[in-house]
Each structure stands twice: as C-alpha cells, then as structure tokens.
Amino acid sequence: MASNKNKMSLRDDLTCAICYDLFKEPVMLGCMHHFCKRCITTYWRSIRGPVSCPQCRQEFPSKQFQTNYLVAGLVEKVRATSSDRYVKNLEKQIKDTLKLQRSQRDEFIGMIRKDNEQLDLIRQCVAELQERVHGDFQALHHFLEVEEAAVLEELNREQEAMVEEMGRHLEGLQEAVREAEQNLQALQQAIGSTDHNVLVELPELNSRASLQAIKGPDIDVSAFRSKYMAPLQYTMWRKMFKFLRPGPAPLTFDDDTAHPSLLLSQDKTQVVEYEGILPYKLNPKRFIQCINVLAAQGFQSGRHYWEVAVGNKPKWDLGVALEAVDRQVRVKLCPENGYWTLRLRNGNEYSAGTQPWTPLRIGSSPQRIGIFLDCEERQVSFYNADSMTLLYSFSSGPRGKAFPFFSTCLSDRGQKPLPIRILHSPTVAL
C-alpha cells in the first residue's frame, strides 16, 4: 500500500474519496483521512448509528473533524496549476525556454565552428612560419658552410704552399748534406797523403757558399697562426650581416621632404631640430605643418628592415607613410591618414599610432628602434633593436609605395634638441 501510495500523483492524494474531486475546505478525521467538509457532513447525515470514516470504517463517538490548512493550501496550488491560463502560460514558458536553448545550442555550435576554424588557422600559420624559419636558418647554415669550406680551403692551400716550400728547402739541405759527406770523405783520404793528384782534387777549404745558397724559406708561423686565430666568429658575423635578407637598409633622409626646422647631417643619416627656420625651396613633397621628414628610399614590394638610433630623446614618432600623404596639413598619425607609427612622449609613454592611441607597456626604454615592412603581407612591426623584442605590429599595412617616416617632434622649452640617426649596421651586440 505504501509503495502504491508513493506512486500516486499529488492530485490523487488531494482528491476527496466521496466526490472524487479536489478537496474543498479539507478536514481531517481522527483516523487521519481527509474529506471535503461538505462531503463528510452530508455523508454522516445519511447514515444511522455511530459515525465512521467512509474509507477505513473507524467509528467515532461524535461528529468531530479538524480543518487542515496545509492541505487546503496544497489544493489551491494544484487547482491553480490546473487552470487553462496556467497551462497556457506554462506551455509558453516551455516554448520560450526551448527556443532559448536551441538558440544557445546553435550559438555554441557556431562558437565551436569558429574555434575549429581558428585552430586550423593557427596550425596553418605555424606550418607557414616553421617553413619560413627553416628556410631562413637553412640559408644561414648554407652561408656558414660555404664560408667554412672557403676558410678551410684557404688554410689548406697556404699549408700546401708552405709545405711545398719547406720540402724544396729540405731537398736542398739533403743535397748539401750529401755534398758535405763527399767532401768529408775526400778530406779524410787526403790526410797523410803526399800524392800530388790527390791534393789537387781536394775541395776548397773553409768554403761556406753552399750554406748561403740554401738559406731557409721566409715562413712566419706566428703570423700564419695569428691570421687564423683572429676573431673568426665576429668576422663571419660581419660578413653574414651583408648577406641578411632583409638586413638593415642603408637609408638616407630626403632633404626635399624635411620640414624647414630640421637640420640634416652632410651624409643625410642624422636629423636634429633647429631653433629657427632654415632656407628652403617650395616643394609639394616638403612637410610644412609638422617637423617630419621621409627617407629618400621608398618601398612597394619585398621585405625591408631599418634601425633608428633615438638614444635618450624624450619624444619622437617613427614608422611608415604612404607616398600620397598630404604634407601641407596637420593630421593625426594613423593608418586612416596613411601613417603607421610608433610614438614616444614624456620619455616613457609609448603608444601605437592607432585611432585612438594604443598605449604600450614597455619595460626599459630602447635606445634603438627597428622597423620591419613586409609589403606583400602588409605588415609593419616595431622592435626594440637592442634586444629584438617586438613592441607592436600593424597587420593591415600600406597598399602602394611607402616611405620610412621620422619626426623629431618639438622639444620642450629649456630642453636641448637631440638628434635621430639612421643606422646602417648594428653597433651593440644583442
């Protein structure tokens, strides 16, 4: 019975055994059974004799029952949940929830698809980078192998030349030894002899001409050793430096683009702010509103890298500018206006030239900035050239011809203007 009762629904438990409907004003008899107040009252009126429970037939001395407010509350809840309005609301909630769950499921599936696409992109990117890294190192290995073979070949060639010269000298000495032995034999035979013919045929006494004739070769082994004991790795590094692709481009400043307040060095590799206005020719290429200057060399294909010495200069702008930028107006240095730049302000505030600025957290202030331009990949990257640490990279670089861009910025009052210098070779070891 208990097991069957556990399986009954809540509605069955709250159903009157007399009217077979939900309790109305449920009351509880002494036997713990529940009935509608009206149903049990009507039932008791219809019977003669002692009153009893319609279910268990337990008799009671009087018509007494107790109102059960807890059961009444449950009945009201069941009755409320059984209404058409409640059912419709519940169905609507279920449909809304179902729609939401489907939407979330589709969103999750979309996210999974995007993640898988991202994973495929990462794998493809890594594969391409591995091939590129392998190719770059393979080229360096090949360069070193060729140079090693050349150095060893030269070493062997010089060795053969010295050995050959020493061999000829040894042959001469051996011939001199044989001649000396013959002379010794002749002199020994002449000792004590009075034969006139023997004395006539004696070799010239005290002769040293043969020793002078076979003087040793002028070979300086110490100098030969010093030649190959030189800093070979550094020598190869300097030689490899010219082999690098890309290596630091030998840029020069374009005097025709320089703002009139910029003073260029004679070799066009250094620029510094000038206190006044220098004489200049009107030129549409020249920057008039901002103290900027471009390099004379522009690029529209290939990969290029250059380094700029900024030292302790407290402010500057460096990067790349499209050939078509308007040099006659003052504009924000951002890709939308044809500029891809890195900037420094107040000695330690670095930011990338985006719209708005992108602040950068850089540990130690670099003394040299490296700029890398990949025209095919449209990538512009900035490095701390002291350690080759990446500072920032633009993934949507210039389309068309672009020029290296430089700005010394206006020095603050009381500050001595410091120069910017283009480097043609590294000056500090990494």
Cβ distance 20 to 14 under 8 Å? no
Read off the pLDDT of residues 51-70 as tens digits, 9 standing for 90 and up: 899 989 898 888 888 888 88
Residue 353 has phi, psi (to 5 degrees) of -80, 70
Q: Percentage of the chain surpassing pLDDT 90?
A: 42
Q: Which residue has the higher pLDDT, 213 or 66?
A: 66
Find tokens 């009762």 and name the residue. Answer: 5
Strand order in 358-360's β-sheet?
A: 292-294, 402-407, 316-322, 339-345, 349-352, 358-360
**Average pLDDT along the chain:** 85
Residue 391 has phi, psi (to 5 degrees) of -100, -45
- Per-residue pLDDT at 210: 53
Mean pLDDT of 238-260: 83
Q: Percentage of the chain surpassing pLDDT 70?
A: 89
- Per-residue pLDDT at 170: 87
pTM: 0.61
- Per-residue pLDDT at 238: 72
- Per-residue pLDDT at 204: 58
Rg (CA), the chain: 52
Q: Which residues of 20-32 are buried (b: 16+ CB within 10 A; e: fewer)?
A: eebbeebbbbeee
Examine the pLDDT at 36 and tell me if it is beyond 60. yes
Mean pLDDT of 323-329: 90
Q: CA 7 from chain center: how many Å?
A: 65
- Per-residue pLDDT at 383: 93
Examine the pLDDT at 203 and tell me if it is beyond 50. yes
Cβ distance 383 to 391 under 8 Å? yes
Mean pLDDT of 209-233: 70
176: confidence class by pLDDT, cuts 50, 70, 90: confident
Query: Checking DSSP bridges between strand 339-345 and strand 349-352, what pairing results, if any?
Result: antiparallel
Examine the pLDDT at 345 and tell me if it is beyond 80. yes
- Per-residue pLDDT at 375: 93
3-state secondary structure the chain: CHHHHHHCCHHHHCECCCCCCECCCEEECCCCCEEEHHHHHHHHHHCCCCEECCCCCCEECCCCCEECHHHHHHHHHHHHHCCHHHHHHHHHHHHHHHHHHHHHHHHHHHHHHHHHHHHHHHHHHHHHHHHHHHHHHHHHHHHHHHHHHHHHHHHHHHHHHHHHHHHHHHHHHHHHHHHHHHHHHHHHHHCCCCCHHHHHCCCCCCCCHHHHHCCCCCCCHHHHHHHHCCCHHHHHHHHHHCCCCCCECCCCECHHHCCCCEEECCCCCEEEECCCCCCCCCCCCCCCCCCEEEECCCECCCEEEEEEECCCCCCEEEEEEECCCCCCCCCCCCHHHCEEEEEEECCCEEEECCCCCEEECCCCCCCEEEEEEECCCCEEEEEECCCCEEEEEECCCCCCCEEEEEECCCCCCCCCCCCEEEECCCCCCC
- Per-residue pLDDT at 244: 72
429: confidence class by pLDDT, cuts 50, 70, 90: very low
- Per-residue pLDDT at 393: 93
Nearest partner of 339 among 360, 359, 324, judged by Cα: 324
Examine the pLDDT at 141 and tell me if it is beyond 50. yes
Identity at 63, one-letter amino acid code: K
Examine the pLDDT at 7 and tell me if it is beyond 50. no
Cis peptide before 314 (omega within 30 of 0): no
Examine the pLDDT at 338 and tell me if it is beyond 90. yes
Mean pLDDT of 332-343: 95
Q: Which residue has the higher pLDDT, 11 or 151?
A: 151
- Per-residue pLDDT at 4: 37
Residue 159 has phi, psi (to 5 degrees) of -60, -45
Examine the pLDDT at 428 and tell me if it is beyond 50. no
Mean pLDDT of 196-219: 59
Examine the pLDDT at 92 and tell me if it is beyond 90. no
Examine the pLDDT at 103 and tell me if it is beyond 70. yes
- Per-residue pLDDT at 5: 45
Q: CA 71 from chain center: how many Å?
A: 70
- Per-residue pLDDT at 319: 97
Q: Which of 161-165, 229-233, 415-419 has the lowest mean pLDDT?
A: 229-233
Examine the pLDDT at 193 and tell me if it is beyond 70. no
